[in-house]
Amino acid sequence: MMLLQGKTVLITGGSRGIGAAIVKLFAAHGADIAFTYASSAEASEAIVKELSSTIKIKAYKSDAASMTAAEQLIKDVLADFGKLDVLINNAGITKDGLLLRMTEEMWDSVLDVNLKSVFNLTKYAVKPMLRTGGSIINMSSVVGVFGNAGQANYAASKAGIIGFSKSVAKELGSKNIRCNAIAPGFIATEMTHVLEENTKDAFLSNIPLKRLGDANEIANAALFLASDLSSYITGQVINVCGGMCV
């Protein structure tokens, strides 16, 4: 069953990790896909080459933290694809450190890339959706739900995404625009591969399913929220964390 046939989707940070998993799953379900990258040009080109025989797909180099770049990106996507049905705000970074050692730059850069970008892209993506309806999916984190020592900047950005998503859901629901957030738990990506084993073990001890999540499991949740299967769901936070939040 092709759940996204006829839909055009924009995914930020789509060249690797969770973003790349979403791109590939959505392509398998018939979506036309625009996705962004910050520096992974080679990986982005490989994804486009892999999928271009089955769907319309294009990669854009764009700085999600820039309001000007976000406005231009939406203009470019509409010019290339003609419409926009789904926006997935997935771009994000970490710059961890204890509060007393955290610099202003560490705080500002994480808030800009993780949170301000969601405002930037949503603001401009909503305009074409006002005519047709749409689904906005924002990537939060379980850290935004219950916090984490050494990640005050990251937790603040991801908690902000939850508040933003609920507000947008209330504001735009009457226009048939849905907005939800996904809060991944401890997912096996490039970010987690570099962690020491004792750190991973500490996380696993708090996960009832006793394993790391897979990027494809986050993509599955995004597929549900992007498709008509979730047509009466908005303003929600879906924790995909193996029970970590229980």
Is residue 150 within 8 A of residue 97, CB to CB? The reply is: yes
Give me the active site residues, please: 154
Average pLDDT, the chain: 95
Residue 104 has pLDDT above 90, yes or no: yes
Phi-psi region of 186 (alpha: psi -120 to 50; beta: other; left: phi over 0): beta
pLDDT of residue 194: 64
- The answer to whether 109 and 95 have CB atoms below 8 angstroms apart is yes
Q: In whole angstroms, how far apart are CA 224 and each of 22, 99, 118, 241, 243?
A: 11, 37, 20, 16, 19
Collapsing DSSP to helix, strand or coil, 89 comes out as: strand
Q: How confident is the model at residue 201 (pLDDT cuts 50, 70, 90)?
A: confident
Class of residue 121 by CB neighbours under 10 A (exposed 0-12, middle 13-18, buried 19+): buried
Domain 8-240 has CATH 3.40.630.30: no
Helices 117-132, 152-172: crossing angle, 10 deg rounding = 20
Stated pTM of the model: 0.95
Q: Where are the domains of the chain?
A: 8-240
Q: What is the mean pLDDT of residues 211-238?
A: 97
The enclosing H or E element of 181 equals: strand 177-184
User: In the predicted model, what is the mean pLDDT of residues 174-187?
Assistant: 97
**Closest by CA position to 124, among listed 182, 62, 170, 181:** 62
What confidence category does residue 4 fall into, taking pLDDT thresholds of 50, 70 and 90? very high
User: What is d(CA 215, CA 206) in angstroms, rounded to the nearest whole number?
Assistant: 19
Q: What is the mean pLDDT of residues 213-217?
A: 97
pLDDT digits (tens, 9 = 90+) for 115-145: 999 999 999 999 999 999 999 999 999 999 9
